[in-house]
Homo-oligomer: A and B are copies of this chain.
Amino acid sequence: MLTQKAKYGLKALLMLAQQEPGEFTLVAEIAARQKLPRKYLELILLELRKQGFLHSQRGKNGGFRLAKRPDEITFGQIIRVLDGPLAPFPCASLTGYRKCEDCTDEQVCAVRKQMRRVRDAMAAILDSTTLADAAAEGLAQEGPADPVPAIALA
C-alpha cells in the first residue's frame, strides 16, 4: 500500500502535466481542483521541487510548474521520492536494498525470490509509465490497445 502522500503527489503532478507548458499554477488551485488538503500538499510539492520535478515561483503570478517534460517523469520516480522503494520487502529492492535480520541464506530465500519478481513487475509498469502516458490514457474513452502489452498470463 502506498500513502496518501504519494497519491496526492501523483494527482498534483498529473494535473500540472495538463497545464500549458511554462504556465504556473497555484498550490491553492491544485488543492481546490483535486480536493486535497492545501498545507499538506504544499509540503509534498516542496519535496518534489527539491528533487527536481517541479519549478516554483513566489509572489503574484507565481505557483508551480513541471521542471521537465511530462514524458520525462515516471510514476516510479515519483513514488520512490515520496514513499520510498517499490519492492514489498527491503531485501527485494534494487534502489533501497537492506538485508533481513532473520535471513540466514538470502541467496536461497524463496520468499525473497518471489518478492523480487513482484518488484520487477511493478517496476516494469511504473518505470515505463510517464505523466504523459497517464494523461493520454486518461483522455481516451476506452483504450483498446495497451501500451504495456498485457501483464503476461494470469
Which A residues are within 8 Å of any B CB, using their own CB?
Answer: 1-2, 7-8, 10-11, 14, 34-36, 75, 84-85, 87-89, 100-104, 108-111, 113-115, 117-118, 120-122, 124-126, 128-129, 134-135, 137-138, 148-154
Is the CB–CB distance between B152 and A102 below 8 Å? Answer: no
Is the CB–CB distance between B151 and A111 below 8 Å? Answer: no
Residues of B within 8 A of A111 (CB): 7, 10-11, 14, 134
A50–B5 Cα gap in the complex (Å)?
34
Is the CB–CB distance between A89 and B1 below 8 Å? Answer: yes
Number of this chain's copies in the complex: 2
A109–B137 Cα gap in the complex (Å)?
10
**Given A1-B85, A35-B101; 19 other pairs, CB 8 A cutoff:** A1-B84, A1-B89, A2-B88, A2-B115, A11-B111, A14-B110, A34-B102, A35-B102, A35-B103, A35-B104, A75-B114, A113-B138, A114-B125, A117-B151, A121-B151, A122-B122, A124-B152, A128-B154, A149-B152
A77–B115 Cα gap in the complex (Å)?
15
Nearest CB on B from A91, distance (A): 9
Residues of B within 8 A of A115 (CB): 2
Residues of B within 8 A of A11 (CB): 102, 111
A7-B100, A100-B7, A153-B148 as given contacts; A118 in contact with B125, CB under 8 Å: yes
